């Protein structure tokens, strides 16, 4: 069951940012989303997750339209979202962040223990306030919080921004594991494109709020190809 977005338009209040996005995210695959700064990648992720209203177009999952659904209801449909910033409760402990994320979802309480097993670096810090975590640990917690709801599709808005290489590698390998287990992943890629494109199937290039290219992700690993595609988008 894939997530399908067609002709999606959205923005902030009256300011339209997305002018027609097409994107498909199948299960068991990592789908990369690339584009220049300000192209609308974060706006697209926020719209899919129900944080911004759809102005026009369609988003469908499991045969249902998600248009007009609240963020909570989209989460309950099986689409988890890890925003780029402000994605943990700093004052709460790691465990309480996970518990808080589980409250709205049936059976999610048991998943708190499950995600702590999956991420030993969080289990070791379960009673520590999230404000004391390193950038990589915090980002791991944000991903774990999304997993507590038991999503089938996980939307990651540039989860490796500014992280030390060891954490980039860990997050890449955890996300690959999740996809191998069946999850569909949409990954906004800005930094470390080589590492993420190497494990992705399809790459969507977004420019000025439109899907400008749909490519085989690994084709962008050829020398100079990624730069060429990203530079071409504004001509």
Ligand X SMILES: Nc1ncnc2c1ncn2[C@@H]1O[C@H](COP(=O)(O)OP(=O)(O)OP(=O)(O)O)[C@@H](O)[C@H]1O
Contact positions vs ligand X (CB under 6 A): 12, 15, 17, 35, 37-43, 190
Q: Which is nearer to ligand X, 21 or 66 (CB)?
A: 21
Q: How many C-beta atoms surround the C-beta of residue 47 within 10 A?
A: 26
Decide whether 22 or 190 has the Cβ nearer to ligand X. 190
Rounded to 5°, angle at Cα 144 from 128 and 116 = 60
**Shorter beta-carbon distance to ligand X: residue 15 or 235:** 15
**CA distances from residue 37 to 4, 34, 139, 194 in whole angstroms, order as listed:** 24, 9, 21, 18
**What's the rounded Cα separation, in Å, for the pair 99 and 203?**
34
Minimal distance in Å, beta carbon 162 to ligand X? 13
Q: Which is nearer to ligand X, 38 or 165 (CB)?
A: 38
Q: Which residues pair with 211 in a beta bridge?
A: 206
Taking the complex as a whole, the smallest distance from the CB of residue 44 to ligand X amounts, in Å, to: 7
Determine which helix (DSSP H) or strand (DSSP E) holds 98, and give its type and residue range.
Answer: helix 94-102
80: which strand partners? 154
Nearest approach in angstroms of CB 13 to ligand X is 7
């Amino acid at each position: 069951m894939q997530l399908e977005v067609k002709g999606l338009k959205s923005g902030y209040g009256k300011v339209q940012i997305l002018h027609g996005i097409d994107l498909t995210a199948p299960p068991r695959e990592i789908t990369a989303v690339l584009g220049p700064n300000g192209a609308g990648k974060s706006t697209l992720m926020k719209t899919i997750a129900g944080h911004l209203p759809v102005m026009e177009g369609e988003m469908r999952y499991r045969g249902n339209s998600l248009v007009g659904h609240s963020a909570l209801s989209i989460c309950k449909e099986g689409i988890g979202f890890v925003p780029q910033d402000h994605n943990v409760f700093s004052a709460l402990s790691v465990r309480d962040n996970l518990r808080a994320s589980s409250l709205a979802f049936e059976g999610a309480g048991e998943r708190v223990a499950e995600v702590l097993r999956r991420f030993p670096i969080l289990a070791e810090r379960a009673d520590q306030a999230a404000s004391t975590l390193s950038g990589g640990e915090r980002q791991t917690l944000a991903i774990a919080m999304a997993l507590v709801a038991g999503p089938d599709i996980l939307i990651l808005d540039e989860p490796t921004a500014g992280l030390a290489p060891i954490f980039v590698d860990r997050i890449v390998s955890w996300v690959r594991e999740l996809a191998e287990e069946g999850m569909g992943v949409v990954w906004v890629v800005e930094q470390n494109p080589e590492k993420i494109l190497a494990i992705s199937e399809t790459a969507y290039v977004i420019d000025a709020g439109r899907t400008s290219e749909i490519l085989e992700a690994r084709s962008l690993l050829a020398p100079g190809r990624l730069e060429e595609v990203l530079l071409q988008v504004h001509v």
